[in-house]
């Protein structure tokens, strides 16, 4: 171990942080942007009259394309309207503090110039621009953390995809009795080198976000090896728990045991109670990660703002997805929602960034977040009688409406059974109004 550490110190001049120091920016950030973008963004989940169920990024699998047939999509990938700076600006304006781009999704097509593959945007596509590089540079310039998603599952690579065997469907495959003996070669000679390229050539990577951990060919030994490999290159980067085999279903948190990974990844759902470890809920605005124009099942802006608050009140981060189209545009429906969230976070960000889970029970009217001796009451349902009822063990020193620039103090009364704050009759915000409460010692 000592030798390994010495080797590490030589390789990298970066100061190795403690785990708490390393996680700090991420814990304080609370809100990030997921971007699912690839050759599937051209397809939009449609093949003739057939529409893929669920996520359109699964088009290759769900619309039954063979490996050869599917290759024409990377050959067409030419998103001439892609503007990394504009994307980053939209994320920042929404109040997001980091961006996670799908460098390679299950389809296997890479959005950077990979030396171990010609199935990437430089070698296979007319676009011939390194998307990872452009987005990394735009993030750096605009001061937001750049992060990468990478899929362990690869439906294109011959040693990883399962068409080698009859009745072997690698996309779903989690049957340990069916083994792909080629997979370790894919891991050693392709996947690991690709991850290495992403960590060596694009500056600081905030988070490496793995996915596809469920296939049985991928082992916990590979997961631990990969985690160490990543931290050897970038000691202070953060890696999600899908790097190893410890995740328990959609809840996304780790089972008991020794598994690599720095945070849990519940997907499309928010846990009921606060979890006493690091976690990040990832979610779509409609029902698809990849661009899917047939899916108009958009969550409202109000719902998304309340989801952000709910997640922060339980100690998590919110990674909210955008599926840009094949030209490189964010859908207008997504932009509207980003704008609405930005309007809210600009006014109420104090109650979100750096805030912690509330120790108090979830109130009927909304949620609490906390920073030191300040409690933020996020009110979803504003009281019709103008009296906000707080948990009875909250001792109010001073209460104000967070967005009230005149800082007018609200009066409050505490009885043995309840604490009431005299708030304005009209809700200050149409979505979530925040009452700031300084606690008495
Ligand atoms: C995966 C991908 O298959 C999907 O396309 C998308 O990228 C999403 C973010 O991740 O899907 C998952 C991953 C994990 C679970 C379910 C779907 N899970 O935790 O049960």
Query: Average pLDDT of each block of 10 consecutive residues along the chain (441 residues)?
Result: 35 80 98 98 98 96 91 98 98 99 97 98 98 98 98 92 50 62 95 98 98 89 97 97 80 70 82 78 97 98 98 96 98 98 98 94 95 97 98 95 97 93 97 98 83
CA of 252 to the centre of ligand 1 (A): 10
- What is the C-alpha to C-alpha distance for residues 285 and 20, in angstroms, rounded to an integer? 31
Ligand 1 neighbourhood includes 248 CB (under 6 angstroms): no
Contact in structure between 123 and 77 (CB atoms under 8 Å)? no
CA 46 to ligand 1 centroid distance, Å: 20
What's the CA gap between 237 and 109, in Å, rounded? 24
**Chain center to CA of 173:** 24
d(CA 24, CA 354): 9
Nearest CA to 134 out of 90, 87, 97 is that of 87
What gap in Å lies between CA 60 and CA 406, rounded to an integer? 57
Which two structure tokens, joined as six digits, stand for 217?
A: 């060919």
Task: With both helix axes pointing from N to C terminus, report the angle between 84-94 and 332-348 in degrees, rounded to the nearest 10.
Answer: 40
Rounded to the nearest angstrom, the distance between the alpha carbon of 395 and the centre of ligand 1 is 43
Give the Å distance between the CA of 188 and the centre of ligand 1: 24
Return the best residue to mutate from 33, 53, 55 for the ligand 1 pocket (most ligand atoms within 8 A of CB).
55
Q: Which own/partner contact pairs does 350-353 have at CB distance under 8 Å and 24+ positions apart?
A: 350/376, 350/402, 350/436, 351/376, 351/378, 351/402, 351/434, 351/436, 352/30, 352/31, 352/95, 352/308, 352/309, 352/312, 353/28, 353/29, 353/30, 353/31, 353/97
Probe residue for ligand 1, chosen from 173, 251, 267, 290 as the CB with the greatest number of ligand atoms within 8 Å: 267
First to last CA, the chain: 47
Q: In this predicted model, what pLDDT tens digit does every residue of 191-229 receive, in sequence order?
A: 999 999 999 999 999 999 999 988 888 999 999 999 999
CB of 246 within 6 A of ligand 1: the answer is no
Residues 198 and 100: their CA atoms lie apart, in Å, by: 13
Which residues make Cβ contacts (< 8 Å) with residue 15, sequence separation at least 6?
Answer: none
Residue nearest atom 7 in ligand 1 by C-alpha distance: 289
Task: Calculate how far, in angstroms, residue 211's C-alpha sits from the geometric centre of ligand 1.
Answer: 7
Our answer on whether the CB atom of 295 is closer than 6 Å to any ligand 1 atom is no
Given this model, what pLDDT does residue 12 score?
A: 53
Q: What integer pLDDT is reported at residue 59 of this predicted model? A: 95
Are 431 and 347 within 8 A, CB to CB?
no
């Amino acid at each position: 171990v000592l030798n390994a550490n010495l080797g590490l110190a030589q390789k990298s001049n970066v100061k190795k942080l403690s785990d708490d120091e390393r996680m700090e920016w991420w814990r304080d950030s609370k809100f990030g942007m997921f971007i699912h973008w690839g050759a599937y963004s051209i397809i939009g989940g449609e093949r003739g009259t057939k529409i893929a169920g669920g996520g359109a990024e699964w088009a290759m699998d769900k619309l039954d394309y063979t490996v050869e047939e599917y290759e024409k999509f990377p050959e067409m990938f030419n998103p001439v309207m892609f503007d990394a700076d504009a994307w980053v600006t939209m994320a920042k304006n929404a109040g997001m503090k980091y961006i996670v781009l799908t460098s390679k999704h299950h389809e296997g097509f890479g959005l950077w110039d990979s030396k171990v593959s010609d199935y990437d945007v430089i070698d296979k596509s007319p676009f011939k621009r390194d998307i990872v590089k452009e987005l990394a540079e735009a993030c750096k310039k605009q001061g937001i953390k750049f992060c990468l998603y990478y899929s362990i599952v690869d439906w294109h690579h011959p040693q990883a995809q399962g068409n080698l065997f009859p009745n072997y469907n690698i996309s779903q495959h989690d049957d340990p009795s069916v083994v792909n003996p080629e997979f370790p070669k894919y891991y050693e000679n392709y996947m690991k080198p690709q991850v290495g390229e992403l960590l060596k050539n694009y500056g600081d990577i905030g988070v490496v976000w793995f996915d596809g951990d469920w296939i049985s060919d991928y082992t916990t030994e590979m997961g631990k090896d990969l985690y160490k490999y990543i931290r050897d290159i970038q000691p202070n980067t953060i890696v999600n728990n899908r790097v190893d085999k410890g995740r328990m279903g959609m809840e996304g948190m780790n089972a008991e045991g020794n598994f690599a990974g720095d945070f849990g990844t519940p997907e499309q759902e928010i846990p009921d109670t606060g979890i006493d470890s690091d976690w990040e809920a990832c979610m779509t605005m409609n029902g698809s990660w990849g661009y899917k124009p047939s899916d108009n099942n958009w969550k409202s802006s109000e719902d998304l703002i309340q989801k952000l608050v709910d997640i922060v009140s339980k100690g998590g981060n919110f990674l909210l997805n955008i599926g840009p189209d094949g030209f490189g545009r964010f859908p207008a429906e997504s932009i509207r929602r980003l704008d609405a969230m930005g309007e809210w976070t600009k006014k109420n960000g104090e109650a979100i960034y750096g805030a912690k889970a509330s120790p108090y029970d979830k109130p009927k009217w909304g949620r609490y977040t906390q920073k030191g001796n300040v409690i933020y009451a996020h009110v979803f349902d504003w009281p019709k009688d103008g009296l906000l009822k707080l948990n009875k063990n909250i001792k109010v020193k001073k209460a104000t409406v967070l967005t009230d620039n005149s800082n007018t103090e609200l009066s409050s009364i505490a009885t043995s059974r309840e604490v009431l704050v005299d708030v304005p009759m009209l809700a200050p915000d149409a979505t979530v109004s925040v009452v700031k409460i300084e606690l008495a010692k």
